[in-house]
Amino acid sequence: MRVLVVGSGAREHALVLALAQDPQVTALACAPGNAGTAAVAEQHGLDVQDGAAVVALARDWTADLVVIGPEIPLVAGVADAVRAAGFACFGPGAEAARIEGSKAFAKDVMAAAGVPTASSLIVDSPADLDAALAGFTPPYVVKDDGLAAGKGVVVSEDLELARAHAMHLLDDGHPVLLESYLDGPEASLFCLVDGTTVVPLVPAQDFKRVGDGDAGPNTGGMGAYAPLPWAGETLVDELVAAVVQPVADEMARRGTPFTGLLYAGLALTSNGPAVIEFNCRFGDPETQVVLALLRTPLAALLNATAVGTLAEHPPLEWADGAAVTVVVAAEGYPGTPRLGDVISGSDAPGVLHAGTRRREDGAVVSTGGRVLSVVGTGTDLAAARADAYRRLEGVHLTGSHHRTDIGLRAEKGEVTVPGR
């Protein structure tokens, strides 16, 4: 099988590494890729939002399967173009990708499917903002209704901070979603969906805040671990039955079936699970830990999802133990990052690339805010954490920063689900 992966982040590096281990994969390409994917797959320059360009590359390269990693091309309808050209494609079409592209759309789907989520209100005019905020109590949750790479959310006890963020979004022409706050630990559940069949992967937990102890602003994700030692053996099945399957069924009922990776971001509250958000693709950095534990060959699994035969696929196989990833971010991130610095240690095992490129002199330099994801594995969470941070010691990027507490509370047994 010839597999073309579209994207350039650590998620795509993780996908490429997993696909490279699949004996069915005879050729592998990543477009546009990064300095890490270049060591594993053919690289091709590509505008990932240009459906015609993706189709042309798939045709020229004679791809058997196209895997679209990022949300932006999915929301733009690139998967529709690829499928219309006759290629098997892993990723939802534009209508189904609205589950991430529009939070208002996602809320409507959840309401129709009877899926619990935070109460919410859309505000599209500054004149309505103060009255709308008065209907909520702290902590205030203010979100960009559209795509924001994980950084369009403010959760704060400070009304003025919440208001300022909402005004900033409105001034930029973005509708604002106000939500009630959901308590309890958060979990990320990835599910493969081929329109009707739902197959869950192991759950993970990511860390959105930039600093230790969940301090500072939201980011695209500063680290993750899997599985969840505090979740209980039945939690995944319960979440599929209460959340993911009803949403998949509702989208199929609407005539826009979801095909690809449906990501449920959940709060496990004192009143039961509730959805924080849905994403229409593999999440980053959770993909790095989930795929580190997957032992089922990935290409056939993604292909079965793409062509609608997921129900016939054998049960998934997983490694014992745990995985942890720690994101190395450039100086300035999640604001304007410092770029162009040389990175040492980036070619070591367990180091996945995101914002990188290799110069003509062979040096790897930073090109984005989240630069690397360092992955460790072990027999349990403590061992996986130790492995990840040991690997991190060999990586150097001037001015970079990372969290030192990824998975620490779970390792100490300090994470619990209310009522379980």
Each residue of 254-293: pLDDT tens digit?
999 999 999 999 999 888 899 999 999 999 999 999 999 9
Quick: pLDDT tens for 68-86.
Answer: 999 999 999 999 999 999 9
Spatial contact of 352 and 419, defined as CB atoms under 8 Å apart: no
* Angle, helix 103-113 to helix 94-101, in steps of 10 degrees: 100
**How far is the C-alpha of 297 from the C-alpha of 146, rounded, in Å?**
34
* Secondary structure E strands in 315-389: 322-329, 342-344, 351-353, 356-358, 364-366, 370-378
Is 90 exceeded by the pLDDT of residue 224? Answer: yes
Q: Please compute the mean of the pLDDT values over residues 340-347 and round it to a whole number.
A: 97
**What integer pLDDT is reported at residue 148 of this predicted model?**
58
Give the H/E segment covering residue 73: helix 71-75
**What integer pLDDT is reported at residue 211 of this predicted model?**
97
Q: Which residues pair with 401 in a beta bridge?
A: 329
Q: Please compute the mean of the pLDDT values over residues 30-37 and round it to a whole number.
A: 97
**What integer pLDDT is reported at residue 190 of this predicted model?**
98
Class of domain 2-93: alpha beta
**What integer pLDDT is reported at residue 157 of this predicted model?**
87
Q: Please compute the mean of the pLDDT values over residues 163-186 and round it to a whole number.
A: 88
Q: Please compute the mean of the pLDDT values over residues 42-70 and round it to a whole number.
A: 98
Length of the chain: 420
**What integer pLDDT is reported at residue 213 of this predicted model?**
96
What tokens does 225 get? 């671990």
What tokens does 312 get? 């016939």
What are the φ/ψ torsions at residue 17 (nearest 5 degrees)? -60, -45
**What integer pLDDT is reported at residue 140 of this predicted model?**
87
**What integer pLDDT is reported at residue 149 of this predicted model?**
58
**How far is the C-alpha of 97 from the C-alpha of 262, rounded, in Å?**
9
Is 60 exceeded by the pLDDT of residue 151? Answer: no
Q: Please compute the mean of the pLDDT values over residues 370-379 and round it to a whole number.
A: 98
Percent of the chain whose predicted confidence (pLDDT) is above 90 = 81
The architecture CATH gives domain 186-312: 2-Layer Sandwich (3.30)
Spatial contact of 36 and 7, defined as CB atoms under 8 Å apart: no
Domain extents for the chain?
2-93, 119-179, 186-312, 322-411
* Secondary structure E strands in 195-331: 198-200, 205-206, 209-211, 215-218, 223-226, 259-269, 272-279, 322-329
- Residue 17: count of CB within 10 angstroms of its CB: 21
Classify domain 119-179 at the CATH topology level: Dna Ligase; domain 1 (3.30.1490)
Is 80 exceeded by the pLDDT of residue 376? Answer: yes
**What integer pLDDT is reported at residue 97 of this predicted model?**
98
**How far is the C-alpha of 352 from the C-alpha of 45, rounded, in Å?**
20
Q: Decide which of 3.40.50.1000, 1.10.3720.10, 3.40.50.300, 3.90.600.10 is the CATH code for 322-411.
A: 3.90.600.10
Say which residues have a Cβ less than 8 Å from residue 170's Cβ, sequence separation at least 6: 123, 124, 125, 126, 129, 176
Q: Which residues pair with 121 in a beta bridge?
A: 178
Q: Please compute the mean of the pLDDT values over residues 358-386 and round it to a whole number.
A: 97
**How far is the C-alpha of 162 from the C-alpha of 106, rounded, in Å?**
22
**What integer pLDDT is reported at residue 177 of this predicted model?**
87
Q: Which residue has the higher pLDDT, 308 or 143?
A: 308
Quick: pLDDT tens for 241-253.
Answer: 999 999 999 999 9
**How far is the C-alpha of 103 from the C-alpha of 107, rounded, in Å?**
6
Q: Which residues pair with 226 in a beta bridge?
A: 323
The pTM of the full predicted model, rounded to 2 decimals, is 0.91
**How far is the C-alpha of 17 from the C-alpha of 11, rounded, in Å?**
10
**What integer pLDDT is reported at residue 181 of this predicted model?**
83
DSSP codes of every residue in 112-130 = HHT--B--EEEE--HHHHH
Residue 342 region, left (φ>0) first, then alpha (ψ -120 to 50), else beta?
beta
Confidence band, pLDDT 50/70/90 cuts, at residue 155: confident
